Amino acid sequence: MSTQLVSGRQAGRQTDRQTDRQAGRQAGRQAGRLAGRQAGRKAGKQTDRQTHRQTHGQTDRHTNSTYKYIVLIL
């Protein structure tokens, strides 16, 4: 009887371990997918910004604002 209990407990532990592993794998996959999506979105925004600057002839955000201030002072 005691051996059956022990083996049952071990089997339970084994399944727990497996489910934990599966859950971890699933969570990792999900997190990776999300991170990838966010990185992709960020990269897309960055390229959009660059193309926008190129089409509108603006190289840098800060230089443009300084020129505006110089014009205002003059």
Write out the chain's pLDDT in tens, 74 residues.
455 666 777 777 888 888 888 888 888 888 888 888 888 888 888 787 777 777 766 555 555 666 666 555 66
The whole-number pLDDT of residue 12 equals: 78
Quote the pLDDT of residue 59.
Answer: 53
Distance, first Cα to last Cα, the chain: 96
Output DSSP code: residue 69.
H
Cβ contacts of residue 59 below 8 Å, gap of 6+? 53
pTM of the model: 0.40
Cα–Cα distance measured from residue 8 to residue 10, given in angstroms and rounded to the nearest whole number: 5
